[in-house]
Amino acid sequence: MPKVWSWLILIACALGSAGGWVVQGWRLSGQHAQELAARDRQALEVAEAIKQAGIEANNAISAADARAWKGLEDDKKELGRLRGCVAAGTCGVRLIVKPAPTGGGASDSSPGSVGHDTIEIDPDVQRRVLDHREAIAEDAAKLEYLQAYAQQCWLTLYKPRQPERVWVPRAQSGP
């Protein structure tokens, strides 16, 4: 009978160990599920922050686009007015020239050293001057838009943010 008792004790210990193993597995499984849920919440928060940053970037880019477009429209209206004025002959493009110094220095009292002269330009050249002015204004508006776009892209990617506390699971120390 002593052999039976030893076998019964051995079986009871094995069943106790197996039961403890199952209970411990259930407990750790619950902890693991909580850790996974916390990671999922963090991932959703990060995804929402990325989505919000994208929305902010698109809004800023749209505002820069609207400003650039309005500037181009205003410049085109002004140039249209100037072209009409030049075509009607009521105004024109003139070249202002400053006479070159004659080398006489400060004591030179020649009338050429005082004031500026204006030279009237051919109507075809006047139109070309206005065309160049329009092209320069368009290029300046494009550059301004691209600078605003690049700045917004930079701020979207490298916007200084406050560091967030991230939950990190700690290793268990013993049973």
Note the pLDDT tens digit of each residue in 46-105. Answer: 888 888 888 887 887 788 788 878 888 888 898 888 888 888 878 877 777 777 666 655
- Residue 167 located in a structural domain: no
- Residue 88 located in a structural domain: yes
pLDDT for 88: 83
Using CA atoms, how far apart are residues 91 and 81, in angstroms rounded to an integer?
A: 10
Beta strands 117-120 and 94-97 are antiparallel
- Residue 86 located in a structural domain: yes
- Residue 6 located in a structural domain: yes
User: In angstroms, how far is CA 31 from the centroid of its own chain?
Assistant: 41
Q: Structure tokens of 9?
A: 């004790």
- Residue 40 located in a structural domain: yes
Which residue range is the domain that position 148 belongs to?
Answer: 2-98+115-158
Q: How many domains does the chain have?
A: 1
User: In angstroms, how far is CA 162 from the centroid of its own chain?
Assistant: 18
